[in-house]
Structure 1
Amino acid sequence: MHISTYIILMCFGSVQLDQLKEILEKAELEIYIEETIPTVNPRYKLHYHITPPVGWMNGPNGFVFYKGEYHLFYQFYPYDTQWGPMHWGHVSSPNLVDWHTLPTALRPGNEQCFSGSAIDNDGIMVLLYTAHQATDDAPFYNESQYMAFSIDGIDFHKYKGNPVVILPPTGTQDFRDPKIWKNGNFWYVVLGSKTADHRGSVLLYRSKNLLSWEFKSILAESSGALGYMWECPDFFELNGKYVLLISPQGMVGRGDRFKNTYQTGYLIGSFSYDTCQFKPEINFQELDYGHDFYTTQTTENNGRRYLVAWFGMWESLHPEDVDGWVGAMTLIRELDLVGSRILMKPVEAITKLRLETIIEGEFHHNATIEFEKAGEIIVNIDLSENIELEFVGNNGGDKTSLRWSVEDGKVIVDRAGDVRQGTWEPLDTVTWRIFLDASSFEVFCGEGELVFSSRMYPNGDWRVINRGPQSLHVVAYTLKRFQPE
């Protein structure tokens, strides 16, 4: 028996056996994480993005402002660098930039703890998540919705009356990723699902007490072109319109669009709480055009809507898997809606990470900028000429180019021949704002009209080369190097 386990046993001698077992398992997990952290190879570990302390990370879960801090949870498997029985990892931040690792919030029991969301219910943090359980009959799993709660936002207890939402009206076994919010006297939740004939859909439920839920409507569903399953829905009002975020599986690529394994994007329209009907007014639009962006969580505070996504993609390679960890979150973005377009920009607090100014001035043809693993570059550009910037490690490794094509009117990210591109029509500022971390690349065009998020793996520090014909005015900063503590 580990000495720390023995101490806990001595301290909690009067606690009931089931509670004691839970305390011991929580403690043993945190001891394992602490003892494993020193074995992690930091060569690709991101410095100002959220990453797991050890093991596997995928989609973000509850994102909530609670008792003066932002809390973010994520899908987590601490014991391997491959997907496994899902836990909920947990970080918090006072400003959406400086993140601190907290104890693991949820551990699997008879169920895996799939994705969900978090809310502040009069000082009690409530988690609503999908319980994924194996069954003996096809399709050999069942999904229902469980609840957990905490009075301090750190130590969580599963509701003994789980599940609180058992089956969808369609009868499908795919029924997951609840996103919860309150309007008036009612709680609402949207869930990702699919129809009996394999078309993605989002289901809407309502409750007065968080425990008894009433099905209200199929909020939206695919006609067939938008895939066979919709994951991780989110639904909120933004600038007078209602936004439905979804992550469809099974979409077919079309030209430059939908080139990743799965997509994440949005529908915009009108909604009535009286009828619980959503009427989309635009076709599905992708949120991010990069290689590695899937499933999102949003939260609102002080009238601002913030978004984060898994900085990854299913069926993609993860070179850090031999280093003891896998996965990251994107920078937190603030959302805005202009017309029928969602704009995404980094939160204002990101500027607090700036340290040294590396260059402020002209960046000439074939000139080079070199800096350490964490950096930001702001590029003022002239769209009348082609542009090409090359990003590579000073000791080699992955090479990526960022280009502007005058002929096509497109921004192009070329990661070793794997191209993502999108049409860019600037609303105001004609700039690129580029964030580089130890194994990541994010570029925000203009006011956030077009965004690319891609993982890349340079060897050594960053080297940026101006391969294009025009001289560019740039400001480049090194950024504070820290990992979530």
Structure 2
Amino acid sequence: MASSHSLVVLCILVAVFGNSSAEQSRGLAEEIQLAEYIANKRPSINLRYRLRYHVAPPVGWMNDPNGFSYYKGRYHLFYQFYPYNSSWGPMHWGHSSSANLVDWVELPTALIPEKEQCFSGSGVVDGDKLVLIYTGHQLTSTEPYYNESQYIATSTDGINFSKYVGNPVLKSAPNDSPDFRDPKVWKYGDYWYAVIGSKTDDKHGRVLLYKTPDLINWEYLSIIGESNGTMGYMWECPDFFELNGKFILLMSPQGMAPQGDRYKNTFQTGYIIGSFNYTTNKFVPEVDFQEIDFGHDFYATQTLENGGRRIMVAWFGMWEVPYPEAQDGWAGAMTIMRELTLVGNRIIQKPVAAMNNLRQSTHTVTTFASNQEIEFEKTAEINVLSMDLTKSVSILITGTNGGGQAWIKWDPAVKKVIVDRGSNDIRQVEWTPIGAQSWRLFLDASSLELFCGEGEVVFSSRVYPDGNWKVTNLSPVSLNIEAYYLRTSVPFPYNASTSLTPILGIILLLSLLLPVIPTL
């Protein structure tokens, strides 16, 4: 039931706009009601696993990052969001913003489902507007009982968004596949281009290329990439960009069979390196598909180019796995932001430089002796320096009161880095350093991210300890380390400096949309 505040606002909106705009009035009232719901729900969230420097939903469920963009001096990160339960539901777009890719504030929910659920998409700046291009997922009465089209919504302040009255702007795939989603849009010359994930008639994943002069009238161009039957039945969340003179097709295939150490997650995320010509609209693969992250929990990447840097973020999660935090009133998170470069035939990932700003006090231990334990609070950065890769390494990460644990290992016999969460839940990959023989490990309240060497191998995995962190060197040799406590940089647990309160949200909505009402 709507609160009394929401009902009062709805009456004001209808009175000002009139009956002809009753639908718009109801939409604004829904936004205000949702803001109130989030504020009222937030105090009940259990904080035991709550991340301190990763973007996470204020309440409820989060999956894919969306609309990653830079607008009016701030980075904007949207995400798939269902506020009313900590499991997947009708998709909204949650919204966070940052000046530096590290310190994030919450903003009001950007998109609320109506006839369409608001599935994944991207964000671009067109003049003075921030434009969101997203997939409208609608239920139908005939098999497969859904259909997907592309919609747009615009904003002139980066907070309040209006859906285009002529939606959808792109109704269907060339073969009318109902799976037609996750548009990623960029500009080249006088045209906007988009890659969209879809399926062939025989259920093979593929990526389609479109262009438009105005983000409304779209022209189909070509198939950028397509599964040969071994690359899955659906390619989700495609991205297409140039990196160090080559073009990268980055996507998340569904339905790939495991092959030894590879493709062990429910679904995968990786990339193909090739060349592309804007005249022929043809992408020519030159290097086969490679996974971009080797951890347990990584999916649905988005990238952004700003200031000559290509920045990537991903959903720090995976489909069809348990989320222990779900019983606490929330589920899902984003990875930390990574800067991408291409070295030879692989993408190198490094944490954005601003991550160094999170460092607080330095831990006093520089020599980490065999069988020594170090306790941290909820966050830490641990750098293992000048590793002797002829010796085995084993580091146990667990809670001070037990709970979830992980072993991070180096096996010189097979030259593999291993992240083992126990019960044979292992991810591993060969590592040939191209420079530094070191590890950079980030621990948050229920996560680890490991960057090996220059970032040629990266693991992202969720781990759920009880209490604070306890790190034990189980290696037969001492390790040289430097370690830091990391400060909180996201809303925690809920304060005015890192989130827009419901009252502020209401004021913004009314002052921007109802100029006849005085602003406060």
TM more than 0.5: yes
Give runs of aligned pairs for residues 180-195 of structure 1, distance below 5 A.
Answer: 180-195=185-200
Map of 2:401 onto structure 1: 395
Tell me the SS of whatever aligns to 1:282: strand
Map of 1:165 onto structure 2: 170
Task: Measure, in 2, the Cα distance between the counterparts of 1:161 and 1:259.
Answer: 42
Map of 1:410 onto structure 2: 416
Task: Measure, in 2, the Cα distance between the counterparts of 1:197 and 1:220.
Answer: 15
Structure 2 length as normaliser, TM-score?
A: 0.92
CA contact (8 A) 1:192 1:202 kept: yes
Give runs of aligned pairs for residues 1-80 of structure 1, distance below 5 A.
Answer: 2-9=3-10, 11-12=12-13, 13-15=15-17, 16-80=21-85
Map of 2:429 onto structure 1: 422
Task: Measure, in 1, the Cα distance between the counterparts of 2:22 and 2:417.
Answer: 60
Give runs of aligned pairs for residues 134-145 of structure 1, distance below 5 A.
Answer: 134-145=139-150
Tell me the SS of whatever aligns to 1:133: strand
Shift of residue 36, structure 1, vs aligned partner = 0.4
Task: Measure, in 2, the Cα distance between the counterparts of 1:400 and 1:9.
Answer: 51
Map of 2:442 onto structure 1: 435
Residues 1:359 and 2:370 aligned together: no
CA contact (8 A) 1:359 1:474 kept: no
Structure 2 counterpart of 1:438, one-letter code: A
Structure 2 counterpart of 1:447, one-letter code: E
Task: Measure, in 2, the Cα distance between the counterparts of 1:419 and 1:449.
Answer: 19
Q: 1:84 aligns with which of 86, 89, 95?
A: 89
Tell me the SS of whatever aligns to 2:36: helix
Task: Measure, in 2, the Cα distance between the counterparts of 1:373 and 1:475.
Answer: 17
Task: Measure, in 2, the Cα distance between the counterparts of 1:9 and 1:449.
Answer: 54
Task: Measure, in 2, the Cα distance between the counterparts of 1:150 and 1:314.
Answer: 31
Structure 2 counterpart of 1:399, one-letter code: Q
CA contact (8 A) 2:392 2:476 kept: yes
Shift of residue 360, structure 1, vs aligned partner = 4.1
Q: Deviations over 1:286-324 (max 9, x none)?
A: 000000000011001100000000000001110001100
Q: 2:123 aligns with which of 108, 118, 122?
A: 118
State the identity as a percent.
Answer: 56
Q: Deviations over 1:404-435 (max 9, x none)?
A: 00100000000113000010011111110000
Tell me the SS of whatever aligns to 1:281: strand
Structure 2 counterpart of 1:270, one-letter code: S
Shift of residue 110, structure 1, vs aligned partner = 0.3
RMSD of aligned C-alpha atoms?
Answer: 0.9
Q: Deviations over 1:12-33 (max 9, x none)?
A: 3312322211111110000000
Residues 1:344 and 2:374 aligned together: no
Task: Measure, in 2, the Cα distance between the counterparts of 1:82 and 1:11.
Answer: 34
Residues 1:299 and 2:304 aligned together: yes
Q: Deviations over 1:320-351 (max 9, x none)?
A: 01100000000100001001100111000001
Structure 2 counterpart of 1:371, one-letter code: F
CA contact (8 A) 1:171 1:196 kept: no
Shift of residue 10, structure 1, vs aligned partner = 5.7
Shift of residue 7, structure 1, vs aligned partner = 4.2
Tell me the SS of whatever aligns to 1:217: strand
Shift of residue 123, structure 1, vs aligned partner = 1.4
Task: Measure, in 1, the Cα distance between the counterparts of 2:11 and 2:209.
Answer: 48
Structure 1 counterpart of 2:9, one-letter code: I
Moved over 6 A (4+): none
CA contact (8 A) 1:411 1:423 kept: yes
Map of 1:444 onto structure 2: 451
Matched residue count: 485
Task: Measure, in 1, the Cα distance between the counterparts of 2:76 and 2:333.
Answer: 16
Structure 2 counterpart of 1:47, one-letter code: R
Task: Measure, in 2, the Cα distance between the counterparts of 1:359 and 1:117.
Answer: 44
Residues 1:270 and 2:270 aligned together: no
Q: 1:368 aligns with which of 370, 373, 378?
A: 373
Task: Measure, in 2, the Cα distance between the counterparts of 1:193 and 1:470.
Answer: 51
Map of 2:114 onto structure 1: 109
Give runs of aligned pairs for residues 371-382 of structure 1, distance below 5 A.
Answer: 371-380=376-385, 381-382=387-388
Q: 1:384 aligns with which of 384, 390, 393?
A: 390
Structure 2 counterpart of 1:44, one-letter code: Y
Which runs of no fewer than 5 residues in structure 1 stay unpaired?
none
Structure 1 length as normaliser, TM-score?
A: 0.99
Map of 1:211 onto structure 2: 216
Task: Measure, in 1, the Cα distance between the counterparts of 2:295 and 2:407.
Answer: 13
Q: 1:457 aligns with which of 455, 464, 483?
A: 464
Which runs of no fewer than 5 residues in structure 2 stay unpaired?
492-497, 499-520
Shift of residue 58, structure 1, vs aligned partner = 0.5
CA contact (8 A) 1:358 1:371 kept: no
Task: Measure, in 1, the Cα distance between the counterparts of 2:389 and 2:55.
Answer: 34
Map of 2:259 onto structure 1: 254
CA contact (8 A) 2:102 2:489 kept: no
Shift of residue 356, structure 1, vs aligned partner = 1.1
Tell me the SS of whatever aligns to 1:284: strand
Q: 2:319 aligns with which of 314, 323, 334?
A: 314
CA contact (8 A) 1:393 1:461 kept: yes
Give runs of aligned pairs for residues 326-337 of structure 1, distance below 5 A.
Answer: 326-337=331-342
Give runs of aligned pairs for residues 236-255 of structure 1, distance below 5 A.
Answer: 236-255=241-260
Task: Measure, in 1, the Cα distance between the counterparts of 2:365 and 2:302.
Answer: 35
Task: Measure, in 1, the Cα distance between the counterparts of 2:297 and 2:256.
Answer: 16
Structure 1 counterpart of 2:16, one-letter code: S
Task: Measure, in 2, the Cα distance between the counterparts of 1:9 and 1:26.
Answer: 11
Task: Measure, in 2, the Cα distance between the counterparts of 1:236 and 1:109.
Answer: 32
Task: Measure, in 1, the Cα distance between the counterparts of 2:232 and 2:10.
Answer: 51
Task: Measure, in 2, the Cα distance between the counterparts of 1:341 and 1:319.
Answer: 34
CA contact (8 A) 1:359 1:477 kept: no
CA contact (8 A) 2:10 2:26 kept: no
Task: Measure, in 1, the Cα distance between the counterparts of 2:255 and 2:264.
Answer: 11
Task: Measure, in 2, the Cα distance between the counterparts of 1:359 and 1:382.
Answer: 22
Q: Deviations over 1:196-215 (max 9, x none)?
A: 11111000001011111010
